[in-house]
Amino acid sequence: MPSPEPLAVEPAGRSTATRSVELDAFPTRTRLSTLTDGLRAYGMIAAMWIRSTMTYRASFVMTTVTSFVVTAFDFIAILLMFTHVDALGGYQLGEIAFLYGAAATSFGLADLLVGSTERLGRRVRDGTLDTLLVRPAPVLAQVAADRFALRRLGRITQGLLVLGYGLGTVHVEWTLLNLLMVPMMLVSGALIFAAVFVAGGSFQFWAQDAAEVQNAITYGGNTLLQYPPTVFAKDLVRGVTFVVPLAFVNWLPALAVLDRPYPLDLPHWFAYLPPVVAVLCCWLALLAWRAGLRSYRSTGS
C-alpha cells in the first residue's frame, strides 16, 4: 500500500522495514498522528503570523474594520431592500437575518482557518511551495496556516451580530433540539465551506491562475446562502443541494428550525444531515488535495 504521502508523519529514527509493516497494520494510528502533527504545525505557523501582523498594529486594526464593514455591506443591501418591502421570497427580515448570520459566520470561520489555501496557485508559480515541502509537517497544514489573517475576525463578528439579531427576532419555539441545531449548523457549515476552500485550492495545483473559480464557489456560495432558497431557480437549488452541497450549511437545518418547507421535496431528516455531509466533504477535499499534491510532485509545476 502506498503511504498516504502528504499526510504520513512518523517519529524519526525508525527503520524503513518496521515502518512499512506498521503502516499496513495500523493505518488509523498513522492518520491520527498525521492529524495531530498537522494541527500542531498549523498552530505554530498561525501564531507566527499573528505576531507578524501585530508588528503593524495600526494596519491590523484598519484591515479588520474594513473586513467588518465590507462584509456588513451585504446585510446593509438587504436592509435597504427591506425599506421597500416587508418580505423577500416570502421571508421576513428576521428570518433572512438568521439565514444570513448562519452562512456568514460559518463562512467567516472557514475563511479564517483555511482561507489561505486560495493563495496556493501563487506559491506554486513562484516556487515557494518547495520550501514547505522540505519541512517535517503536512503541507496542507502549512498552506492553510500561511498568512493566517486575524483580520478575518471582522467578518465573523459581523456574521455573529446579524445571527444574534436574527435569533432575537424570529418566532421559533426554542426546544432543546432547535437550540442544538444552531451550533451544529455553524460547525458543520464551517467544515463544508472549509472543504470547498481546500478543494478549490487543490484545483490550483493544476490551474495556478484559477483562484477565482474557488472564489465563485466560496464567496459566491456565501452570498447565495444569505438569501432564502425560495428566491432561486429550482435547478440552482438542486445544484447546491446535490452537487456542491452548500445547502447543508444553513438552508436545510435553518429552514427546519424556522419550520419552513424546503423548495425541493426532501425527507424531513435531511435537516439533520449537515454533520455527515461535512465529514464527507472534508474527506473528498483531502482526497483532492492529495491528488493535487501528487500531481505537483510528479510534474513540478
* 159-218 binders of another protein (CB under 8 A): 207-213, 215-217
Tell me how far, at minimum, the Cβ of 296 lies from another protein, in Å: 9
Q: Report if residue 29 touches another protein, rule: CB under 8 A.
A: no
Tell me how far, at minimum, the Cβ of 178 lies from another protein, in Å: 26
Interface characters, 67-96, with another protein (x: CB under 8 A): --xx--xx-xx--xx-xxxxxxx-------
Q: Which residues pair with 88 in a beta bridge?
A: 91
- Alpha-carbon torsion (135, 137, 143, 146), positive or negative: negative
Residues between 2 and 21 that touch another protein (CB under 8 A): 2-3, 5-6, 8-10, 12, 15-16, 19
Measure the CA–CA gap between 206 and 226, rounded to whole angstroms: 31
- How many residues of this chain interact with another protein, rule: CB under 8 A? 74
Given the rule CB under 8 A, which of 101-109, 184-192, 222-230, 248-256 is the region that contacts another protein? 222-230
Measure the CA–CA gap between 156 and 154, rounded to whole angstroms: 6
Measure the CA–CA gap between 280 and 283, rounded to whole angstroms: 5
Measure the CA–CA gap between 259 and 172, rounded to whole angstroms: 8
Q: Which is nearer to another protein, 67 or 181 (CB)?
A: 67
Measure the CA–CA gap between 197 and 180, rounded to whole angstroms: 26
* Amino acid at residue number 217: I
Residues between 234 and 263 that touch another protein (CB under 8 A): 236
Q: Which is nearer to another protein, 175 or 301 (CB)?
A: 301
Q: How many CA atoms lie within 13 A of 163 on its CB side?
A: 20
Q: Which is nearer to another protein, 25 or 85 (CB)?
A: 85
Q: Report if residue 138 touches another protein, rule: CB under 8 A.
A: yes
Q: Which is nearer to another protein, 181 or 292 (CB)?
A: 292
Q: Site for another protein (CB under 8 A): which residue of 183, 243, 268, 298?
A: 298
Q: Which is nearer to another protein, 100 or 181 (CB)?
A: 100
Interface characters, 108-137, with another protein (x: CB under 8 A): -------------------xx-xx-xxxxx
Q: Which is nearer to another protein, 1 or 176 (CB)?
A: 1
Q: Which residues pair with 143 in a beta bridge?
A: none
Cell numbers placing 265: 421535496
Tell me how far, at minimum, the Cβ of 219 lies from another protein, in Å: 8
Q: Which is nearer to another protein, 168 or 220 (CB)?
A: 220
Tell me how far, at minimum, the Cβ of 164 lies from another protein, in Å: 22
Tell me how far, at minimum, the Cβ of 44 lies from another protein, in Å: 6
Q: Which is nearer to another protein, 85 or 176 (CB)?
A: 85
